[in-house]
Structure 1
Amino acid sequence: MRTLSIIGPGRVGRSLGKLFHQLEVFQITSVMSRSLESAVSSSAFIGAGEPVISIEQLSAADVFMLAVPDDEIEHQVSRLRQYALVETDCIVFHCSGSKSSSILAPLRECGAHVASVHPVRSFADPALVVSDFHGTMCGIEGDQLALQTLSAAFGAIGARVFELSPEHKLRYHAASVFASNYLVTLIDVAQQCYVAAGLDLDLAARLAQPLASKTLENCFRLGTTAALTGPIKRGDFETVQRQENDLLSLDRSIAELYKSFVPLTTEIAKRSGAE
Structure 2
Amino acid sequence: MAKNRPVPPADWNGRPRVNAPPPSATPPAQEPAEPKDRPARLTVGVVGAGRVGPALAASLQLAGHRPVAVSGVSDASRRRAATLLPDVPVVPPAEVLARAELVLLTVPDDALPGLVEGLAETGVVRPGQLLVHTSGRYGTGVLDPARRAGALPLALHPAMTFTGTSVDVQRLAGCSFGVTAPEELRLAAEALVIEMGGEPEWIEEEARPLYHAALALGANHLVTLVAQSMELLRSAGVGAPDRMLGPLLGAALDNALRSGDAALTGPVARGDAGTVAAHVSVLREHAPATVAGYLAMARTTADRALAHGLLKPELAEDLLVVLADGSSAADGESSR
TM over 0.5: yes
Q: For the Cα contact (< 8 Å) 1:3–1:28, is it kept in 2?
A: yes
- In structure 2, what is the Cα distance between the partners aligned to 1:132 and 1:189? 25
The answer for the alignment partner of 1:215 in structure 2 is: 252
Please list every run of 5 or more consecutive structure 1 residues that lacks an aligned counterpart in the other structure.
none
Q: Secondary structure of 2:276's match? A: helix
Cα distance in 2, alignment partners of residues 213 and 6 from structure 1: 35
Tell me which residue corresponds to 1:266. Answer: 302
Indicate how the Cα distance of structure 1 residues 122 and 174 shifts in structure 2: closer, same or farther if over 3 A, else same: same
Q: Would you say 1:160 and 2:199 are equivalent positions?
A: yes
Q: Does the 8 Å CA contact 1:228/1:268 hold for their aligned counterparts?
A: no
Match of 2:160 in 1: 121
Distance (Å, rounded) in 2 between the aligned partners of 1:181 and 1:162: 20
Q: Does 2:58 match 1:18?
A: yes
Question: Which residue matches 1:98?
Answer: 137
Structure 2 residue aligned with 1:229: 265
How far apart are the structure 1 equivalents of 2:60 and 2:122? 26
Contact 2:50–2:164 at 8 Å: present in 1 too? no
- The equivalent of 1:9 in structure 2 is 49
Q: Any idea what the Cα deviations from partners look like across 1:52-80, whole Å, max 9, x if unmatched?
A: 1x223323322211011112212321331
User: Separation in 2 of the partners of 1:121 and 1:249?
Assistant: 36
Asked whether 1:184 is paired with 2:231, we answer: no
In the alignment, the residues of structure 2 paired with residue 64 and residue 258 of structure 1 have an alpha-carbon distance, to the nearest angstrom, of: 43
Q: Is the 8 A contact 1:6 1:32 kept in 2?
A: yes
1:196–1:35 CA distance, 2 compared to 1 (3 A)? closer
Aligned equivalent of 1:239: 275
TM-score (norm: length of structure 2): 0.74
Query: 1:40–1:234: structure 2 CA closer, same or farther, 3 Å change rule?
Result: closer
Residue-by-residue CA offset, 1:161-196 (whole Å, 9 max, x unaligned): 011022122221111112211111101111122223
Residue in structure 2 matched with residue 148 of structure 1 by the alignment? 187
Query: Structure 1: which amino acid aligns with 2:278?
Result: R
Quick one: which of 92, 109, 133 aligns to 1:70? 109
CA distance in 1 between partners of 2:221 and 2:75 (Å) = 33
Residue of structure 2 in register with 1:50 after alignment: 89
Between the aligned residues of both structures, percent identity stands at: 25
Answer yes or no: is the 8 Å Cα contact 2:158–2:175 preserved in 1. Answer: yes
Match of 2:90, SS state, is strand
CA offset digits 1:117-145 (Å, max 9, x no partner): 11111212531221242211101113234
Provide Cα deviations, 1:219-256, integer angstroms capped at 9, x if missing partner. 123x1223211111221012112211321223333101
Q: Unaligned regions of 5+ residues in structure 2, if any?
A: 1-40, 312-336
CA distance in 1, matches of 2:260, 2:94: 51
- Alignment match, 1:204: 241
Separation (CA, whole Å) in 2 of partners of 1:29 and 1:125: 19
Pairwise CA distance, 1:47: 4.0
Q: What is the number of residues matched between the two proteins?
A: 269
Q: 1:77 to 1:42 in 2, by over 3 A?
A: same
Instruction: Give, as a single letter, the amino acid of the residue that structure 2 aligns with 1:22.
Output: L
Match of 1:255 in 2: 291
SS of the residue aligned with 1:100? coil
Larger Cα Rg: Structure 1 or Structure 2?
2
Moved >3 Å (runs of 4+) = 35-41
Match of 2:71 in 1: 32
Equivalent residue for 1:138?
A: 177
Give 2:53's aligned amino acid.
Answer: G
- Residue 35 of structure 1 and its aligned partner are, at CA, apart by 4.3
Q: Provide TM-score, normalisation by structure 1.
A: 0.89
Task: Give the equivalent residue in structure 1 for 2:320.
Answer: none
Cα displacement (A) at 1:43? 4.4
